[in-house]
Amino acid sequence: MALFGRKKKAAQIEPTDSVDSAASAPSPVEPEGRGPWDVDEVPELGGRIDLGAIRLPKRAGSQVKMELDSKTRRVVAVRLLMDSSSLQLQAFAAPRSEGLWEELREEIAQQVVKQGGSSDERTGPFGRELLARLPARLPDGRTGSRPARFIGVDGPRWFLRAVMSGKATVDTEAAAALEDVLADVVVVRGSEARPPRDLLTLHLPGRPGESTPDLAEGRPTLDLPKRGPEITETR
């Protein structure tokens, strides 16, 4: 499955007008088109937070929350908070020959219905996505719903799932801000063999090895997102 709206172009370095070319090294060049990117497409990872499989763009005034599995304490997702909006990210291993998103959209839609919600499929800036309304308990105790956008991107042997919630589901400017973040994410899959849908390893910001031990049981899945314990870092 092709990447959504992405053009595979090699990064180009423009010639410099400087007389002393040795003293004026070219600035790092980002790939052309629209991400999320594979690490092989990005020659320079500066300006992004090292979270392991996900390199998250830095944004002023944002908060980064690492979501932990309540039983294993393993980091299972990263969530960026900006202006009353939330962007949850998870990266998974995918088959070499095909993507996961077309199949997963149907599974997510079915899960939403089973939980008493509803969803509509539409085309967004990253391709086909789901706009869902998930069951939620209102402050007065009644049952209501909360909107969420499910976005999937198939990369080379990886799949990135993004879930937007909060203000970004109803406000165009707030949505654009999170879309800009998502479009600048870099995925670092690694070369090791992994089964499809296996969660790629995440760790605390800039601290490799501080995720938790590799676990054989309770492996995170692509089910609907659930809030768990969190570690917060303010940017």
CA pair distance 177, 24, nearest whole angstrom: 33
pLDDT of the residue at 224: 57
pLDDT of the residue at 32: 67
Q: What is the mean pLDDT of residues 151-166?
A: 97
What is the CATH topology of the domain spanning 33-207+228-234?
Answer: Protein Transport Mog1p; Chain A (3.40.1000)
CA pair distance 36, 9, nearest whole angstrom: 14
pLDDT greater than 90 at residue 45: no
Q: How many CB atoms lie within 10 A of CB 83?
A: 15
- The domain locations on the chain are 33-207+228-234
Confidence of residue 143 (pLDDT cuts 50, 70, 90): confident
Q: Which residues lie below 8 Å from residue 176, measured CB to CB, with a gap of 6+?
A: none
Q: Greater confidence, 12 or 163?
A: 163
User: For all residues of the chain together, what is the average pLDDT?
Assistant: 81
pLDDT of the residue at 102: 95
**Strand-pair partners of 75:** 68
Tens of pLDDT, residue by residue over 73-105, are: 899 999 999 999 999 999 999 998 889 999 999
Give the angle 176-228-201 at the CA atoms, nearest 5°: 75
Q: How many CB atoms lie within 10 A of CB 107?
A: 12
pLDDT of the residue at 213: 38
pLDDT of the residue at 13: 29
Q: What is the mean pLDDT of residues 41-52?
A: 91
Structure tokens, 218: 């309770």
| pLDDT more than 70, % of the chain | 74
Q: What is the mean pLDDT of residues 18-43?
A: 64
Confidence of residue 140 (pLDDT cuts 50, 70, 90): confident
pLDDT of the residue at 232: 42
pLDDT of the residue at 215: 33
Q: Greater confidence, 3 or 28?
A: 28
User: What are the phi and psi torsion angles at 39 (to 5°)?
Assistant: -60, -30
pLDDT greater than 90 at residue 171: yes
CA pair distance 39, 42, nearest whole angstrom: 5
pLDDT of the residue at 80: 97
Q: What is the mean pLDDT of residues 40-58?
A: 93
CA pair distance 165, 167, nearest whole angstrom: 7
Predicted TM-score (pTM) of the model is 0.77
